[in-house]
């Protein structure tokens, strides 16, 4: 399934590159009526470093329109995820001007800010020769994605696509066994237990009651688990920058979370990434999962998910004592501080994240979930997304965008390292190598060396 997914992505990218400009054409008057001279850097060139992703495919499909509007040539290098991360780190830490713009995210930004590798964007937003403030309308972005892109009052990236987290479940399976959609972690465990009992009675051995990411890395701890930490009133560091994860509530939650996976999840949980989880659900091999809330488009696509069409629904991530608290990951675009073409690079960032282009990206290329209020609430987008999950998915995504979701990590250059330590200890609880108490205490102890800068959290 991984190979199939990668093949589909590659095929889609090729189609976009050949045909994108042909079937996506934003009316140029939307830009020509602004107060910005889009031709002011005509003849210059900029270079983009992008990660292989639907957002990247969208950019490449639409770049011809930017070049026509501005006269700026755009060069693009797209790499698979791991190679992208390696090249991004080499370029930014090496202060290389090779790429003017890189795909990024808040947690990635934090790695590069201390060395001055990312350009603060406030001055570009405030320059009337570069930005028409009324046209661009920074307040149209959902506040939580802008807040996540700031450190110490400086904006370091423009968000483009966000994911919060949700429970997807097979409504046909839950209905068959009389299982109520779970609302808490305890109920999620009980639901998996009932589904397993039903499977055992029916001799079903090839469907997991529950699965989730488990591989060591930032993406795993960032998704379901960090959402649970927040819902149980926990956090990584307190307001004074001290480690704060070792609490009775987080220990108990971590124990139940790993027990859920051990009792009812995959035996190879420690090596599963997001695509493994999605592929299992699409193939009809999992009854419940927790992952990105923008998957509704794929899970309802007959060309991809024919096994589960009309058989799945969604509900919010488990509610804890502190309420419903989803974490986020926001793909963004950031400017290399070593760029020699910063102003034309900003014009691309402004253009790409403008209302007309983000709407086109969502309508033509299903680039979900858009981070602008006006785009998410566009009539056609509402009609399309309201079909997801038998009507259950869009209300959850909206709640995440407006209320439930935020970046739950403290801004910290060491956030990636901490997330890997944390997931490693969760794996040790899962294998019953250590107790949950000892594991979370170990995370707290090791986090003492990974504390965030105080001026980032004040």
Q: What is the pLDDT of residues 274-301, one digit of tens each?
A: 999 999 999 999 999 999 999 999 999 9
pLDDT, tens only, 295-351: 999 999 999 999 999 999 999 999 999 999 999 999 999 999 999 999 999 999 999
**pLDDT tens digit string along 213-231?**
999 988 899 999 999 999 9
Q: Which residues pair with 27 in a beta bridge?
A: none
Judged against a pLDDT cut of 50, whether residue 20 lies above it is answered with no
**pLDDT at res. 82:** 84
Q: How confident is the model at residue 28 (pLDDT cuts 50, 70, 90)?
A: confident
pTM here?
A: 0.91
Largest Cα–Cα separation, the chain: 71
pLDDT tens readout for residues 155-169? 999 999 999 999 999
What is the model's pLDDT at position 26? 67
Write out the two tokens for 450. Answer: 């990974």
pLDDT digits (tens, 9 = 90+) for 365-402: 888 899 999 999 999 999 999 999 999 999 999 999 99
Q: Using one digit for the tens of pLDDT, what is the confidence trace for 129-145?
A: 999 999 999 999 999 99
pLDDT in tens, 47-65: 999 999 888 999 999 999 9
What's the rounded mean pLDDT across residues 35-49? Answer: 97
Grade residue 25 by pLDDT with cuts at 50, 70 and 90. Answer: low
- pLDDT reported for residue 7: 39
Tell me how crowded residue 49 is: count the other CB atoms within 10 A of its CB: 23
DSSP code per residue over 381-414: HHHHHTTGGGGTHHHHHHHIIIIIB---SPP-TT
Taking the C-alpha atoms of residue 415 and residue 110, their distance in angstroms, rounded to an integer, is 8
Q: What is the pLDDT of residue 262?
A: 98
- Mean local confidence (pLDDT), 408-429: 97
Quick check: 21 pLDDT over 70? no
Q: Distance (Å, rounded) from C-alpha 254 to C-alpha 206? A: 27
pLDDT at residue 456 greater than cutoff 90: yes
Structure tokens at 344: 């034309």
pLDDT at 349: 98
Instruction: For the chain, list the domains and their CATH numbers.
Output: 2-163+329-388 (3.40.190.10), 165-327+410-457 (3.40.190.10)
Does the pLDDT value for residue 237 go beyond 80? yes
pLDDT tens, residue by residue, 63-77? 999 999 999 999 999
Question: pLDDT tens digits for 1-19?
Answer: 443 434 344 334 333 333 3
Average pLDDT, the chain: 93
Question: What is the tens place of the pLDDT at every residue in 80-131?
Answer: 988 999 999 999 999 999 999 999 999 999 999 999 999 999 999 999 999 9
Which residue, among 34, 64, 53, 147, has the nearest Cα to 360 in the 3D structure? 64
Helix ranges (H only) for 283-372 are 296-299, 342-352, 355-365
Q: Residue 423, Cα to own-chain centre: how many angstroms?
A: 18
Is the per-residue pLDDT at 32 higher than 90?
A: no
């Amino acid at each position: 399934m991984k190979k199939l997914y990668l093949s589909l992505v590659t095929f889609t990218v090729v189609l976009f590159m050949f045909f994108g400009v042909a079937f996506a054409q934003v009316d140029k008057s939307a830009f020509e009526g602004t107060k910005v001279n889009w031709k002011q850097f005509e003849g210059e060139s900029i270079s983009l470093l992008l990660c292989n992703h639907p957002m990247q495919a969208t950019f490449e499909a639409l770049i011809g329109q930017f070049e026509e509007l501005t006269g700026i040539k755009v060069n693009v290098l797209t790499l698979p995820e791991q190679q992208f991360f390696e090249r991004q780190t080499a370029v930014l830490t090496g202060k290389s001007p090779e790429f003017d713009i890189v795909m990024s995210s808040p947690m990635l930004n934090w790695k590069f800010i201390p060395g001055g590798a990312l350009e603060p964007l406030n001055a570009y937003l405030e320059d009337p020769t570069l930005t028409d403030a009324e046209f661009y309308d920074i307040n149209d972005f959902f506040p939580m994605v802008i807040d996540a892109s700031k450190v110490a009052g400086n904006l370091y990236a423009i968000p483009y696509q966000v994911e919060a987290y949700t429970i997807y479940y097979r409504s046909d399976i839950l209905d068959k066994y009389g299982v109520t959609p779970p609302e808490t972690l305890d109920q999620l465990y009980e639901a998996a237990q009932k589904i397993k009992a039903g499977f055992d009675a029916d001799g079903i051995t090839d469907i997991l009651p529950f699965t989730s990411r488990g591989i060591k890395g930032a993406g795993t701890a960032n998704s379901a688990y960090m959402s649970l930490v927040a819902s149980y009133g926990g956090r990584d560091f307190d307001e004074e920058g001290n480690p704060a994860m070792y609490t009775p509530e987080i220990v108990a939650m971590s124990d139940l979370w790993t027990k859920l996976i051990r009792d009812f999840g995959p035996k190879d949980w420690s090596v599963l990434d997001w695509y493994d989880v999605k592929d299992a659900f699409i193939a009809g091999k999992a009854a419940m999962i927790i992952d990105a809330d923008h998957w509704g488009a794929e899970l309802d696509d007959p060309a991809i998910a024919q096994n589960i069409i009309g058989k799945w629904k969604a509900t919010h991530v488990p509610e804890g004592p502190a309420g419903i608290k989803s974490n986020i990951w926001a793909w963004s675009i950031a400017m290399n501080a070593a760029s020699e073409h910063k102003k034309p690079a900003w014009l691309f960032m402004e253009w790409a994240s403008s209302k007309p282009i983000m709407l086109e990206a969502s309508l033509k290329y299903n680039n979900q979930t858009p981070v602008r209020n006006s785009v998410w609430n566009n009539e056609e987008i509402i009609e399309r997304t309201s079909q997801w999950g038998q009507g259950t998915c869009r209300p959850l995504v909206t709640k995440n965008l407006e209320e439930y979701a935020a970046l739950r990590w403290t801004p910290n250059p060491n956030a990636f390292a901490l997330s890997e330590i944390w997931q490693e200890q969760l794996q040790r609880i899962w294998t019953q190598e250590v107790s949950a108490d000892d594991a979370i205490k170990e995370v707290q102890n090791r986090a003492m060396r990974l504390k965030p800068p105080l001026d980032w959290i004040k």
